[in-house]
A and B are shown apart, each in its own frame.
Chain A
């Protein structure tokens, strides 16, 4: 990639930020809480797009951005009111701008007249008719008739010579061959010099011999440069007092520049001055010295105060390629593994040697964890990057369906790992499509139901308990359980005589092959159902839950992990095998007495836990391993959250401990294995599989229903508990 291509990429990245700003700003203005600052920020963003597009030669973009900018400028100057009907023209204009940027980025030719409708609408706001010169070359690159006489800076007068009483000395410092042998260190002398003022030295390394010939105690380097100091020659000489026999030192004072008649630049030179504006009679002709700004001393107060005033330091940011950060993430992963190995060795050592070592290891573990967190925060992106696509989607869908929909967004700044953000776009888009298509009613129906004719979709994100929770909530009709059940029965997804709770019915929409719309609309009926949404979310280790209130709307909640690369795991042992369970899925671990567990037919048990019954299953049964452990009293039950809020007790032989583990994907090389989320490398260097609790729970259900085949295989149908 050439540097120009990279710069173009940078520009397009900036464009994405700008588009987000524009969208956000316009939405604020539309909803009536925009201020002058909002309008300014929107204007500036469009202006930036235009400016950059000009520099990089995206002319199609410049033309449209110019018209857009002109309208915003009129709004900024108060010529155009920030009324909703005007913003309604600007929002689609931003959509066109988004498209134009996307096309420019992809290197596609922009079709002639693309976005003409929006452009005409913008132009009509300005009272211009098509064909006006708005979109063309708005003005020559230089201002004809504006006689801006460039002010020549006088370089004979050093620009940085503010006359503060400082003098500049030329210094040449050459250590003699014996200097180091006499224990004099040039570096200390240079540091001393530095204390006197502004030191600018250049090292002369020409005397440096080839590496093999270097004698370590001979100074080969000499220095020349300048020192600007308030002190005099004497102070400089004092620095070298003790080494005067070990080096040669030349100090010459530079002639102070003549105190110039060079007033600050706008002051008159011999020519009449700065600018004379023939073509702008409204403005005073710039004639020095009459309109020259007040002398510096006076003028200093106000702008300097201004300069000092902004309390908010600009956020300094740096763009780093994702791959670079990913490399660090991988290294942290390796570090975690190496550390675990070290831990194993340390714990294997006799107490007297391991004590201090273990203490240090704890510190290392602590730092690694922090390192991991900081790297992860670098990879984290505000979820707004996904949210920003939604307003346009909502707008377009609302227009298509003739419904009125308002989108509210909260928590756009919530940070999520990049890898998750990338995979969140499609499911969210689908959920919102569904919401508008099936959830929100037509204005008339809403009015009939006593609701305001404008539906509201609330999109929010927040950190909750080590997870990111994204919620899409609408105030539409909600799910009609009767219709869903009927449909499910028609499609054979549930048996005809099934009796389901309302919640169970609602969750039917996640089943593959379910689609309730009687006629497939071109909005959500694209062959992608909620089952795909659920799978997408599960693929990133998330869960989706649904709450629906008939006639009042529904809420879809996505709980996502903070990161995919490193996670907290519980290392467990079953028969001779070691596995890892994600900590996030574990509710509690306990060692129940035998009497608390009731065996059931079909390979399952029920655990009496504080008055509730929790299904329990032995992991070795679940994974179909031959179970040879007999000492059931030592067994531990891990109560895990199966994702949909239900609990599952998993019986394991031993808990080996809590550990951070690096998640290595298996799917790429091995294909998906039900119940297995990935693999990791443990401290002893061995590979352990990371289990997927949600899938385990599905497996448990599936196995219970196929006990007969298990019995044929000669396996014990009930636990040996």
Chain B
């Protein structure tokens, strides 16, 4: 059973406010190690040097979007096994399908509550303690 406090999570979103809200949700769940990146490029840079247990990434970002990041992560020697949850807007089914094909472990639809996020994370990493 993974311990929430030990989980190293990377939150990727170009909007600071959204990153902070995600951070608050994660903290409510009990996650203590939270890294942030503003876009795919920063995220992959961080994932290359930082051991991570989970990436939660927005889709719509400048520089490198969530799908491109997902592919880059899956192709990255050090980060390729890091579970990946894609954050999408409502109604974007096709994107979720594509993400699944590209190796996303789960998705979550914006806006989400801490409970939903927890549920989505647990589906990927197992029940948190």
Q: Do A and B bind each other?
A: yes
Q: A residues engaging B (CB < 8 A)? A: 3, 7-8, 10-11, 14, 41, 44, 47-48, 50-52, 54-57, 137-143, 146, 148, 150-153, 155, 157, 159-160, 162, 262, 264-266, 274-275, 277, 279-280, 283, 286, 291-293, 296, 299-304, 306-307, 310, 312-314, 316, 319
B96 interface residue per 8 A CB criterion: yes
Q: B residues engaging A (CB < 8 A)? A: 2, 14-18, 20-21, 24, 38-42, 44, 51-54, 58, 60-64, 68, 71-72, 74-78, 80-84, 89-91, 93-94, 96-97, 100-107, 109-112, 116, 120, 123-126
Indicate if the CB atoms of B60 and A280 lie closer than 8 Å. Answer: no
Indicate if the CB atoms of A159 and B111 lie closer than 8 Å. Answer: no
Indicate if the CB atoms of B124 and A48 lie closer than 8 Å. Answer: no
Could you show 7 A-B contacts with beta carbons less than 8 Å apart?
A7-B21, A148-B96, A148-B107, A152-B123, A153-B126, A162-B77, A264-B103
Indicate if the CB atoms of A299 and B75 lie closer than 8 Å. Answer: yes
Distance, CA A291 to CA B72, complexed state (A):
18
Distance, CA A151 to CA B18, complexed state (A):
25
Indicate if the CB atoms of B93 and A143 lie closer than 8 Å. Answer: yes
For B85, give the chain A residue with the smallest CB separation: A150
When distances are taken between beta carbons in the complex, the residues of chain B under 8 Å from A153 are: 53-54, 81, 83, 105, 124-126
Q: Closest Cβ of chain B: how far from A193's Cβ, in Å?
A: 18
Distance, CA A148 to CA B83, complexed state (A):
15
For B50, give the chain A residue with the smallest CB separation: A160
Distance, CA A292 to CA B102, complexed state (A):
7
Decide yes or no: A314 and B38 within 8 Å by CB, A162-B77, A296-B80 being known contacts: yes
Indicate if the CB atoms of B84 and A265 lie closer than 8 Å. Answer: yes
Which of A41, A138, A160, A306 is the one whose CB lies under 8 Å from B71? A306
Decide yes or no: A283 and B97 within 8 Å by CB, A265-B83, A307-B41 being known contacts: yes
For A12, give the chain B residue with the smallest CB separation: B17
When distances are taken between beta carbons in the complex, the residues of chain A under 8 Å from B89 are: 47, 50-51
For A161, give the chain B residue with the smallest CB separation: B81
Distance, CA A291 to CA B99, complexed state (A):
12
Indicate if the CB atoms of B21 and A51 lie closer than 8 Å. Answer: no
Indicate if the CB atoms of B71 and A14 lie closer than 8 Å. Answer: no
Distance, CA A159 to CA B84, complexed state (A):
12
When distances are taken between beta carbons in the complex, the residues of chain B under 8 Å from A142 are: 109
Indicate if the CB atoms of A155 and B2 lie closer than 8 Å. Answer: yes
Distance, CA A139 to CA B89, complexed state (A):
9
Indicate if the CB atoms of B75 and A302 lie closer than 8 Å. Answer: yes
Which of B78, B93, B112 is the one whose CB lies under 8 Å from A280? B93
Indicate if the CB atoms of A148 and B100 lie closer than 8 Å. Answer: yes
When distances are taken between beta carbons in the complex, the residues of chain A under 8 Å from B102 are: 266, 293
For B84, give the chain A residue with the smallest CB separation: A265
Q: Closest Cβ of chain B: how far from A261's Cβ, in Å?
A: 13
Besides A151-B124, A157-B81, A264-B81, 16 other A-B contacts (C-beta < 8 A): A11-B17, A51-B111, A139-B90, A141-B90, A150-B124, A151-B105, A152-B105, A152-B124, A152-B126, A280-B93, A299-B74, A303-B68, A306-B64, A313-B41, A314-B38, A314-B63
Indicate if the CB atoms of B96 and A143 lie closer than 8 Å. Answer: yes
Decide yes or no: A8 and B120 within 8 Å by CB, A306-B68, A314-B38 being known contacts: no
Distance, CA A265 to CA B123, complexed state (A):
13
Distance, CA A52 to CA B96, complexed state (A):
20
Distance, CA A319 to CA B17, complexed state (A):
11
Q: Closest Cβ of chain A: how far from B85's Cβ, in Å?
A: 9
When distances are taken between beta carbons in the complex, the residues of chain B under 8 Å from A3 are: 24
Distance, CA A589 to CA B41, complexed state (A):
56
When distances are taken between beta carbons in the complex, the residues of chain B under 8 Å from A137 are: 90
Distance, CA A501 to CA B75, complexed state (A):
75
Indicate if the CB atoms of A151 and B96 lie closer than 8 Å. Answer: no
When distances are taken between beta carbons in the complex, the residues of chain B under 8 Å from A291 are: 101
Distance, CA A143 to CA B91, complexed state (A):
8
Q: Closest Cβ of chain B: how far from A312's Cβ, in Å?
A: 8
Indicate if the CB atoms of B41 and A146 lie closer than 8 Å. Answer: no
Indicate if the CB atoms of A314 and B41 lie closer than 8 Å. Answer: yes
Indicate if the CB atoms of A51 and B2 lie closer than 8 Å. Answer: no
Decide yes or no: A283 and B17 within 8 Å by CB, A55-B110, A151-B83, A300-B76 being known contacts: no
When distances are taken between beta carbons in the complex, the residues of chain B under 8 Å from A155 are: 2, 53, 125-126
Distance, CA A319 to CA B116, complexed state (A):
29
When distances are taken between beta carbons in the complex, the residues of chain A under 8 Å from B110 are: 51, 54-55
Distance, CA A299 to CA B103, complexed state (A):
12
Decide yes or no: A265 and B81 within 8 Å by CB, A146-B93, A146-B97, A148-B96 being known contacts: yes
Distance, CA A56 to CA B82, complexed state (A):
29
Q: Closest Cβ of chain A: how far from B36's Cβ, in Å?
A: 11
When distances are taken between beta carbons in the complex, the residues of chain B under 8 Å from A319 are: 16
Q: Closest Cβ of chain B: how far from A65's Cβ, in Å?
A: 11
Indicate if the CB atoms of A300 and B18 lie closer than 8 Å. Answer: no
Indicate if the CB atoms of A314 and B94 lie closer than 8 Å. Answer: no
Distance, CA A507 to CA B80, complexed state (A):
70
Distance, CA A316 to CA B101, complexed state (A):
32
When distances are taken between beta carbons in the complex, the residues of chain A under 8 Å from B97 are: 146, 275, 277, 280, 283, 286
For B70, give the chain A residue with the smallest CB separation: A303
Distance, CA A146 to CA B120, complexed state (A):
15
Indicate if the CB atoms of B15 and A48 lie closer than 8 Å. Answer: yes
For A273, give the chain B residue with the smallest CB separation: B100
Distance, CA A262 to CA B80, complexed state (A):
12
Indicate if the CB atoms of B105 and A310 lie closer than 8 Å. Answer: no
Indicate if the CB atoms of A138 and B91 lie closer than 8 Å. Answer: yes
Indicate if the CB atoms of B103 and A265 lie closer than 8 Å. Answer: yes
Indicate if the CB atoms of B94 and A283 lie closer than 8 Å. Answer: yes
Distance, CA A279 to CA B20, complexed state (A):
35
When distances are taken between beta carbons in the complex, the residues of chain B under 8 Å from A266 are: 74, 100-103
The residue among A41, A140, A151, A280 with the most chain B CB atoms within 10 A of its own CB is A151
Indicate if the CB atoms of B18 and A52 lie closer than 8 Å. Answer: yes
For B78, give the chain A residue with the smallest CB separation: A162
Distance, CA A246 to CA B13, complexed state (A):
50
Which of B2, B103, B109, B112 is the one whose CB lies under 8 Å from A293? B103
When distances are taken between beta carbons in the complex, the residues of chain B under 8 Å from A316 are: 38, 42
Decide yes or no: A48 and B60 within 8 Å by CB, A293-B102, A300-B75, A304-B75 being known contacts: yes
